[in-house]
Amino acid sequence: MTLNFDQWVDRSHSDSVKWNKYKNQDVIPLWVADTDFTSPPQVIAELQKRVAEGVFGYGFTPPELIDLLVQRMSVRYQWTIKPEWIISLPGLVCGLNVAVRANTSRQESSVMPSPIYPPFIQAAQSEGRQFKSIPVKEQQQRWVLDVSDASQQLDGSEKLLMLCNPYNPGGTVYRREELLQQQAFAQENNLVVCSDEIHCDLLLEPGLQHIPFASLNEDAEQRSITLMSPSKTFNLAGLGASIAIIPNAALRKKFKDTANGIVPHVNILAYVAAIAAYRDGATWLEEQLDYLRGNRELVTNRINAMPGLRMLPIEGTYLGWIDASALPVEDPYHFFVEAGVGFTSGADFGNHRFVRINLGCQRALLEKALDRMDIALSGLDR
């Protein structure tokens, strides 16, 4: 199968959150994490077939999806899971919120990396809760969570460690020894671990392997809540199909009890899309990854040649974390919006001197955005 990821899909007149943010403005949207690629043709065909039935009553998690997930974890990640560990969710962000509410009271707190994907922060602050940040530091041209001194800032109120692998916004794919350090920190401080692994299939650096936190060892497994979804991998975010994998029966019961009556059931069309993607989407995924690698090379080379900007190599995700701290501007995000390029502001992640770029679009659009950046930077007084 040869797929055309250069195919232009005009989303500017649709209900796209990404494209409506700058509606009626000449701003290229490279912000929220969905792509501009059409989903796998098998997904589209299965959705059309299901819609043609014309009945959209209540549904339940299809056994075929559970079987595909068990098989996928085994084949791709060498992680043996049981069907009863799987809980269906209508989105990964609600999983973050349920994990916080199930494992911390209002007098207790969470621990998380900084900078981090904004819904982590929002979930950790739900109903007045508090959180503590562990810095992500540059180590050998990679953004790495540094837990070496983190225990010193804890006061005993912490109950939950929130992780992100691959790391959003920095694109790091954590190695086994790094994950073991995180697990040792959680064990030392008796923390449940909620691991957001939504980008686990989007590895851009050849030779790297995603390692689920829960697959490390028995201790990691029994203290873990793993959140995954086909949404980023196959561009299904608007359909809302995610899962939590929780091996420990007590943690799983608390999670289910907390979600009960608050978290809605998964959309029946989302189940159809997830099954088709996991069952038939492997070739499409490999071709998408090849295209994203080309986008990564383009953006990395161009950004790092621009005065005042720096971006470390992206190992996973289709997101880049651009350091604009050397620019003679107070707000890099608004500077680039005025230049016609709409990134995500680093302020949302905890550092306003950065911006996050989304590479998941047609290459010609990226080139146009990069050209606009060059023009804007050339006009700065230095």
Which pLDDT value is given to residue 281?
Answer: 98
What is the distance between the alpha carbons of residues 248 and 253, in angstroms, rounded to a whole number?
9
Cα 160 to chain centroid, rounded:
19
Q: Which fold has domain 17-41+282-376?
A: Aspartate Aminotransferase, domain 1 (3.90.1150)
pLDDT in tens, 114-166: 999 999 999 999 999 999 999 999 999 999 999 998 999 999 999 999 999 99
Domain boundaries, the chain: 17-41+282-376, 56-279
Q: What is the mean pLDDT of residues 315-339?
A: 98
Taking only the tens place, the pLDDT of each residue in 214-240 is 999 999 999 999 999 999 999 999 999
| pLDDT tens by residue, 332-342 | 999 999 999 99
Q: What are phi and psi of 58, to 5 degrees?
A: -60, 145
Query: Distance (Å, rounded) from C-alpha 371 to C-alpha 367?
Result: 6
Mean pLDDT computed over 282-299: 98
Nearest to 216 by CA among 261, 178, 245, 267: 178
Contacts of 270 (CB under 8 A, 6+ apart): 90, 236, 239, 240, 241
Mean pLDDT over 352-379 rounds to 98
The pLDDT assigned to 185 comes to: 98
Q: How far apart are CA 127 and CA 101, in angstroms?
A: 9
What's the full length of the chain, in residues? Answer: 382
CB 186 within 8 A of CB 201: no
Q: Above 90 in pLDDT, residue 382?
A: no
pLDDT score of 362 more than 70: yes
pLDDT of residue 191: 98
pLDDT for residue 1 = 55
For the segment 6-60, what is each residue's pLDDT rounded down to a tens digit?
999 999 999 999 999 999 999 999 999 999 999 999 999 999 999 999 999 999 9
**Confidence class of residue 381 from pLDDT cuts 50, 70 and 90?**
confident
Residue range 353-382: mean pLDDT, rounded: 95
Percent of the chain residues topping a pLDDT of 90: 98
Instruction: Show Cβ contacts of residue 119 under 8 Å, excluding neighbours closer than 6 positions.
Output: 93, 96
What does pLDDT average to over the chain? 97
Helical H segments across 158-217, by residue range: 176-188
Pick the CATH number of 56-279 from 3.30.499.10, 3.40.640.10, 3.90.320.10, 3.30.420.40: 3.40.640.10
User: Which residue, among 93, 50, 63, has the nearest Cα to 232 in the 3D structure?
Assistant: 93
Average pLDDT over residues 301-309: 98
What is the model's pLDDT at position 3? 86
